[in-house]
Amino acid sequence: MLKSLLLLGLLTAQPPARLDDKQIDHLLAVIKPGEGEDPFATIPWQTNLWEARKLAAKQGKPILLWEMDGHPLGCG
Amino acid sequence: MAGRAFAFADPRIIHLAKNSFIPVTADDWYQRRRQDDEGTFFRSVAEQGPRKGVGGATRQGIYTLTADGTLLEFKNAGQNADATLDQLTRALKKWNSLPASRRQPGAVTVREHGKLDANYTRTPPKNGLIVKVFGRILDRKDQEFCRGTCEFAGGMKASRDFLWITATEADAMLPPKLEVGTEYPLPPAIARRLARFHLLDNTRGEPRFWKRADVRDLDLKLTVAAVTPEHLTLRLSGVASLENLREHRGYDARLGGTIRYDRIAKVFDRFDVACVGDHWGDDSFTDSGARPGKTPLGVAFTLADATVPGNRVSPQAARDLDIYMGQRDQ
């Protein structure tokens, strides 16, 4: 019984005592957004409304302002 | 955030945003409060629509407007791509019906911004580091961690935030001696900020940040891994244990990664740090679908290009800037 529990513990992924390079690379790849996962991030968002006004005036375009309580690009 | 998963994931809307508009994002918490030119301009636009901000109420939503301050269309329907597409289409129709004297490039002059409202303006620390932070729920598969699954809509996607490190704090990451194997603590100001404001489960919204008393253990070390004439490579390793007993919420995590300093340019050019461990609980802000029990959560840190406007967004915790930067404690 004790042997089985020990084996189960070994086979279950636990945070290791110290993360090695391979584990770190794997975790970074798993955690960060993958290619194509976040289409919204492909839009070249400005983050300053006043500068966006200047760009809009210069390029002759209207402004699309996405405003949320918590920044759309950095809030959870 | 629904807009990320629905409206701004729609290829038709992405195409319009890229080609027919100047796209800009903002945090309404700052915008509706700031007492300066930008705040005045924004509120004057919002008040042309339904978001009057009575009693300091939210003005969040999706606005289309002209550079000289006319609201074209407003909707708060980021969860509905078709409704947002309809909004943008109607906005463009209104835009195109304006006289050319208001639409053509250079027709409108935007003066320089006056004095910024320092209470509600956040700019990255001068010559400091901007580090992207991603969080994601994980599962255990065989002997490795993989992307996690949950029933909460969007809860499997990576969360986003930014970590700010001042130039002085970054310099303090340099070792006392250039000798491989030299071990020393990660500067306490960075360790504290990283743990309290960035080692959290914000995959379903923003939880409250850890308080000082919630930090049960925090032991993060740097070790000199390699020294060349061009680079100094540091290994970060250690543990963080965070728990709020009242909220029954905690995170036991291990961290590891590589931080590299370019000795010629005298800048940090790499900050790749991973964190993994068991997280448990929700808080009242995000009491909406945490997985039961202790489940794996990962957090990844990677250096951001400070010249990209989208990377200059302030950390969510920087609303209380003094606390975030360690100038006042809580």
Per-residue pLDDT of B127-185, as tens digits, reads 999 999 999 999 999 889 999 998 887 788 899 999 999 999 999 999 999 999 999 99
Residues of chain B contacting A61 with CB distance shorter than 8 Å? 20-22
CA nearest neighbour of A75 among B41, B286, B71, B40:
B286
Contact between chains at A33 and B4 (C-beta distance less than 8 A): no
Q: Is the pLDDT of residue A8 over 80?
A: no
Question: Which of A24-28, B146-150, B247-251 reaches the highest mean pLDDT?
Answer: A24-28
Task: Convert the pLDDT of each residue in B110-124 to its tens digit.
Answer: 999 999 999 999 999
Amino acid (one-letter) located at B321: L
Q: Is the pLDDT of residue A14 over 60?
A: no
Task: Convert the pLDDT of each residue in A42-76 to its tens digit.
Answer: 999 999 999 999 999 999 999 999 999 889 998 77
Distance CA A29, CA A24 (A): 9
Task: Convert the pLDDT of each residue in B54-93 to its tens digit.
Answer: 888 999 999 999 999 999 999 999 889 999 999 999 999 9
Contact between chains at B26 and A57 (C-beta distance less than 8 A): no
Contact between chains at A39 and B11 (C-beta distance less than 8 A): yes
Hey, which residues 222-241 in chain B have their CB within 8 Å of chain A? 237
C-alpha dist (Å) from residue A74 to A18, B187, B198, B283: 29, 25, 12, 20
Distance CA B321, CA B330 (A): 12
Hey, which residues 138-157 in chain B have their CB within 8 Å of chain A? 138, 140-147, 157
Hey, which residues 73-132 in chain B have their CB within 8 Å of chain A? 78, 88, 91-92, 95, 103-110, 113
Contact between chains at B9 and A23 (C-beta distance less than 8 A): no
Residues of chain A contacting B16 with CB distance shorter than 8 Å? 64
Q: Exposed/middle/buried for B319, CB within 10 Å: 0-12, 13-18, 19+?
A: middle
What is the rounded average pLDDT for all residues in chain B? 94
Distance CA B39, CA B117 (A): 9
**Cβ of B40 under 8 Å from any chain A Cβ?**
no
Q: Is the dihedral of CA B280, B282, B286, B289 positive or negative?
A: positive
**Cβ of B272 under 8 Å from any chain A Cβ?**
yes
Q: A6 vs B28, which has greater pLDDT?
A: B28
Contact between chains at B3 and A68 (C-beta distance less than 8 A): yes
**Cβ of B39 under 8 Å from any chain A Cβ?**
no
**Cβ of A16 under 8 Å from any chain B Cβ?**
yes
**Cβ of B20 under 8 Å from any chain A Cβ?**
yes
Place of tokens 């008393």: B213
**Cβ of B279 under 8 Å from any chain A Cβ?**
no
B77 → chain A, closest CA residue: A66
Residues of chain A contacting B107 with CB distance shorter than 8 Å? 57, 60
**Cβ of A7 under 8 Å from any chain B Cβ?**
no
Q: B215 vs A11, which has greater pLDDT?
A: B215
Q: pLDDT band for position A18 (50/70/90)? A: confident
Contact between chains at A32 and B37 (C-beta distance less than 8 A): no
Q: pLDDT band for position B36 (50/70/90)? A: very high
Hey, which residues 33-72 in chain A have their CB within 8 Å of chain B? 33, 37-72
ipTM greater than cut 0.95: no
Q: Chain B interface, mutation test: which of A46, A66, A69, most B Cβ atoms within 10 Å? A: A66
Hey, which residues 164-193 in chain B have their CB within 8 Å of chain A? none
- If you average pLDDT over residues B275-279, what whole number do you get? 97
Which pLDDT score is estimated for A13?
Answer: 55
Q: Is the pLDDT of residue A6 over 90?
A: no
Contact between chains at A31 and B138 (C-beta distance less than 8 A): yes
Task: Convert the pLDDT of each residue in B284-311 to its tens digit.
Answer: 666 578 888 999 999 999 999 999 999 9
Task: Convert the pLDDT of each residue in B211-243 to its tens digit.
Answer: 999 999 999 999 999 999 999 999 999 999 999
* CB atoms inside a 10 Å sphere around CB B298: 25
The size of the A-B interface in CB pairs under 8 A is: 279
Place of tokens 């540091």: B234
**Cβ of B313 under 8 Å from any chain A Cβ?**
yes
Q: What percent of chain B has pLDDT over 90?
A: 85
